[in-house]
Structure 1
Amino acid sequence: MRLALNKQKLYWTLQIGGWSLYATVQIAASVVAAGALGVSTQRIVFLAYEAVFCLLVSHLYRHYINKWRWLSLGMPRLIPKVILSVFALGLLMYFLRIPISLPLKLFSVEVAFDPQNILGLSLYYAIIFFLWSALYFIYNYFERYNKSLKLEAYAREIELNNLKSQLNPHFIFNALNSIRALVDENPAKSKQAINQLSSILRNSLVTEKRELTRFQDELKVVKDYLGLESIRFEERLHTEFIIDPNSKEFLVPPLMIQTLVENGIKHGISRLTEGGLIQIKTSIENDRLKIQIRNSGK
């Protein structure tokens, strides 16, 4: 949530700062061009109006870029869409300037609707929005690239942890102790626990050489793991699953979720006298699987 707010703040800072700089340069250029005559107040008002509407039009453009998921497109598909869009935006911007330029008497009606003037200034605005597009896509490309590097490093770290914890002796010891305690008092539940432990060990052997596994298979292992841990923690461990049905066929690194859940129990639930909650939630965002694991405690 904080990251999203920071990104929004950065976006608006760059938007307002960038278009303010554009207006400042335009006004400065007008002052230089006017020379001793001085630039008119009407011209300054118009340039400020122009910058505000450029900001609004580019923000609307950004909305549709995200809505239509252009950031995930390859160059061959993206470039034609951007070119068509910036020409359309250039034409839109030209006609948005007419309601202010005519009352300020900067142009006559004949000049405002002259085809050559429309084409020339629309092309000018199209170039401006093309440069905006280039900056926006380049920034997002590097942001996604850096994010992918961090995710790759994190995945490697999880893989390393998996190798250390695939047959975690402490977990197996605790599970066997829990099962032994159940044998006499609740044979049916002890049988279920044995099946859960067998499933976890079998999965550990099967997925050892796999790079990816289906999310629904990984989730089943996690549920078996939590089932065994609930024997040990009893009423202290509560679980909640909020799973998007469309997430089940996505591929994830094996034992990734189990490792995170183990950490949640080890560093969160086990340290709380009253216990706590482990929540696993999935959603689909931009055709990607988002997995959230929350636990009580720190």
Structure 2
Amino acid sequence: MKRFSHIKRFELYVWLVPAFLLLNLLMDAVNDNSRFPARTMNEIWLVTYLSVINYWLFEYTLPGMSWKRAFQSALLIILHLFLYTIGFFIWRMLGIMLHIFTPLGSPIPIEERIGTLMGYSFQSIVVFGVVRHLYNYIKLKQHSQQLLIAQQQAELNYLKSQTNPHFLFNTLNNIYSLARDKSDLAPESILRLSKILRYMLYETSAPYTAIGQELKILEDYIALEKLRYDESLSVNFSHDLEDNQQGVPPLLLIPLVENAFKHGLAETRDHPRLHMFLSVKNKQLLFTVENSTGEPVGDGDLKENIGLSNLRRQLALLYTDYQLDIQPKDYTFTATLKINLSSHV
């Protein structure tokens, strides 16, 4: 783990050092373009030294400083001041002795030469420090974004883990009622449930599914629920899909239909009715569900069940442009969902 951390820290300097060298060469070319090959070798020699010292300063010395180790920290600062001044001058003299560094211009006193090199050193500290700060800031933002995405995905999975068992529990209750009454419709209900289960097992793991496939599951679920009712139930489901392959999150719409059956039609005594309309055009999804209810609207605040609450949270995590409008009226409940599918997060 520690070795991986060192590698990540070294990545910045792989491109920062050549960039700093190129910047100095451009400044040399602007000031004096004579003897450019010699100037290039001089800059390479000086930048090599400063890069090592700056790496040590920013990656080890400064991060390791603390008040608890004040004396040790002070000694390291003094050492770095020596390396950026006298040490830098000694490095230049070593380059001259090895015939790597070529003195250019008129000779100047040692004190003035050390002062010039010290200015060069502090310039490199500023450049390396500013770029390193920006680099770490960008990396931190990227890491924070990745954590946010992972957190949102974990929450979406949690919401699905709540919604799917809730949906299955209600469906199994319906089948149990048919089996208890020894209805001939029980085998058909089990067959339709198997289709829904197959879809949930193999399709819902992907972030998107085709709207045409989602429509089939809705129709299977409606047919499964209709088995519990007699001829008095009126169901009308119309749709207008511009593209059957338009991607939508799987099982996103089914909570509205489930809510209509469980909390509306199941409580309607006379002539239960359900009207639904699904439209997808120009990346705009519209889904309306209107169902009868068994009683007039009360004066209290509307309390949403787990299905609608989870749906709202999923929408907030998945899209930036959406609207879920719930309108309870006397003996009627209407849910309208609008989504700009291109606003997916």
Which bracket does the TM-score occupy, shorter chain normalised? Answer: 0.3 to 0.5
- Higher-Rg structure is 2
The TM-score with structure 2 as length reference comes to 0.36
Query: Larger % of strand: which?
Result: 2
The TM-score with structure 1 as length reference comes to 0.41
